[in-house]
Amino acid sequence: MDNVRKQVLKKVETGGISFVRLQFTDILGIPKNVEITAKQLEGALSKGIAFDGSSVQGFMRIFESDMYLKVDPQTLVIHPWTSGASSTATLICDVYLPNEKPFPGDPRNVLRQAVARARKKGFDFYVGPEPEFFLLQRDADSQPTAEVHDQGGYFDLHPVDYGEVARKDIVIALEQMGFEVEAAHHEVAPSQHEIDFKYADALRTADNVMLFKIAAKKIALTHGLHATFMPKPIAGINGSGMHCHMSLFKDGKNAFYNPKSQYLLSHTALHFIAGLIEHIAAITAMANPLVNSYKRLVPGYEAPVNVCWARQNRSALIRVPASNTPQLSTRVELRSPDPSCNPYLAFAAILTAGLDGIERKLTPPDPVEENIYELSASERQARDIATLPGDLESALQALQKDKVVREALGPHIMEKYVEAKKQELDGYRTHVSGWELSQYLSRY
């Protein structure tokens, strides 16, 4: 057994860990796990664990359901909210077929392949997400409600920000799990919060997003609250996004930085931006995957619906933030993704789009520094500023037409993802909502 696996066994033993969760993610971004005792860990590290893939959304049919989890020993995280006989750790796994080949429907494998393509070109892809979420009240039966917990606003403090204690406990838990938390604060909407953690390579960041969601929900529950990453849980206020800051490094240097260019951006960065713009409609199907996602992506709530780029302009879809260390931190910020996305699939689609822009040497339009929300429709049209798909169905249609993103996801993910999303759309279309009842029941 190699040294990394031996270190994992030692940490589990010295940490008094009783249980280990072998975690993976389905195509919809829902975390799954098989729990084993610490005594079974050595066998899992060396041989993997078999499981029934037919019970997991988008995996395999019942007559071809045997699958295996192979542990990534670099991902060990101990749950700080467990102790004693219930002490638990998590190891993230890759999904394999019985023939020892990676499962093409494993979202983590899809991102791993996209990262490998970037590395063949000499690039390392880094992502720093900014996930937002709501802390909402629970009812007498401990079920989640859409009732806000406070009336705080952007950067507000206690007592207006009643969620401050819960947010601090989430930060403490994340740091104990090995996260480097860079900022935590109340967001614009009541009961809305944001916790930002340091960027890392794309695969590790996607793992961290999944672990972050689990930790936030668990700690919120101990405070009698519900942490939700639903993009728009409450009408009339801002929804939750997950702005993604991204950069490519080559030979240890930031490939997006050029001190001699007009915007301090290299040709690589500009091509990457152009690739995002070229494929953004297809990316949207992965970055904004719910029917509810498109109730956030509407004008008037600071959502980035305008397809253009800028330097300081926060009304643009893509932004190049200012930096006092540009040679290290010059980066591109994509502002449309929301935290309900499957980060493995979203990052794979984003990276593939950017690489396509680099390969084809695409050129982006000029940056738009005006407040785009104040431009008229004719002014946006004159500037060739398109808008994101307005609903999930339009985004799925764009995805199915986009050969580059489609091929990056692979035929298995494409088939199962589109199938699941069409079922979601059908369910939404046939549901009679409370709004319809309040508007029509007594009137007609």
Q: What is the pLDDT of residues 89-133, one digit of tens each?
A: 999 999 998 888 999 999 999 999 999 999 999 999 999 999 999
- pLDDT > 90: what percent of the chain? 72
Residue 416 has what pLDDT?
A: 93
> DSSP for 140-158?
TTS-EEEEES----TT--T
Encoded tokens for 36: 């084993």
The verdict on whether 314 is a catalytic residue reads yes
Q: Helix 403-430 crosses helix 392-401 at what angle (to 10 degrees)?
A: 150
Q: Tens digits of per-residue pLDDT, 419-432?
A: 999 999 999 999 99
Q: How far apart are CA 146 and CA 230, in angstroms?
A: 11
Nearest to 34 by CA among 55, 14, 16: 55
The verdict on whether 194 is a catalytic residue reads yes
Residue 18 has what pLDDT?
A: 95
Question: What single-letter amino acid sits at 306?
Answer: N
Q: Average pLDDT, stretch 178-197? A: 90
Q: Average pLDDT, stretch 65-73? A: 88
Give the active site residue among 106, 132, 150, 338. Answer: 132
Q: How far apart are CA 317 and CA 274, in angstroms?
A: 12
Give the confidence band of 308 by pLDDT, cuts at 50, 70, 90: very high
Give the active site residue among 164, 194, 196, 338. Answer: 194
Give the active site residue among 13, 35, 52, 436. Answer: 52
The verdict on whether 187 is a catalytic residue reads yes
Give the active site residue among 271, 319, 331, 335. Answer: 335
Q: How far apart are CA 260 and CA 326, in angstroms?
A: 12
The verdict on whether 52 is a catalytic residue reads yes
Question: Do residues 268 and 276 lie in contact, with contact meaning Cβ atoms separated by under 8 Å?
Answer: no
Q: How far apart are CA 416 and CA 114, in angstroms?
A: 19
Q: Which long-range contacts (CB under 8 A, 24 or more apart) does 359-366 make?
A: 360/271, 360/275, 361/267, 361/271, 362/271, 362/274, 362/275, 362/278, 363/270, 363/271, 363/274, 364/270, 364/273, 364/274, 364/277, 364/309, 365/277, 365/308, 365/309
Give the active site residue among 112, 186, 243, 319. Answer: 243
Q: Which residue ranges form the domains of the chain, and what is each CATH number?
A: 3-103 (3.10.20.70), 112-435 (3.30.590.10)
Nearest to 130 by CA among 191, 197, 188: 197
Give the active site residue among 333, 338, 356, 402. Answer: 333
CA distances in angstroms from 19 to 10, 35, 154, 413, listed in the order given = 14, 7, 40, 31
The verdict on whether 193 is a catalytic residue reads no
Residue 330 has what pLDDT?
A: 93
Place of tokens 């039966």: 141
Cis peptide before 159 (omega within 30 of 0): yes
**Minimum mean pLDDT range among 153-167, 186-200, 228-242:** 153-167
Give the active site residue among 311, 314, 380, 412. Answer: 314
Give the active site residue among 72, 106, 130, 150. Answer: 130
Place of tokens 């709004």: 435
Q: Tens digits of per-residue pLDDT, 401-416?
A: 999 999 999 999 999 9
Q: Average pLDDT, stretch 270-292? A: 98
**Minimum mean pLDDT range among 112-116, 153-157, 297-301:** 153-157
Q: How far apart are CA 22 and CA 36, in angstroms?
A: 8
Q: How far apart are CA 273 and CA 316, in angstroms?
A: 12
The verdict on whether 147 is a catalytic residue reads no
Give the confidence band of 62 by pLDDT, cuts at 50, 70, 90: very low
Residue 63 has what pLDDT?
A: 41
The H or E element containing residue 326 is: helix 326-329
- Whether 204 has a pLDDT exceeding 50, the answer reads yes
Give the active site residue among 26, 164, 187, 196. Answer: 187
Neighbours of 19 (CB within 10 A): 19
Nearest to 57 by CA among 427, 350, 430, 421: 421
The H or E element containing residue 332 is: strand 332-334
Encoded tokens for 418: 């589109």
- Whether 234 has a pLDDT exceeding 70, the answer reads yes
Q: Tens digits of per-residue pLDDT, 311-354?
A: 877 788 999 998 888 888 899 999 999 999 999 999 999 999 99
CB within 8 Å of 400: residues ≥ 6 apart: 406, 414, 418
Residue 52 has what pLDDT?
A: 77
- pLDDT > 70: what percent of the chain? 94
Residue 318 has what pLDDT?
A: 96
Q: Average pLDDT, stretch 266-286? A: 97
CA distances in angstroms from 292 to 29, 299, 301, 306, 338, listed in the order given = 15, 15, 15, 19, 10
Encoded tokens for 236: 């009339």
Q: What is the pTM of this model?
A: 0.94
Place of tokens 């389905």: 26
- Whether 58 has a pLDDT exceeding 70, the answer reads no
Phi first, then psi: give them for residue 405, nearest 5 degrees: -70, -40
Residue 50 has what pLDDT?
A: 87
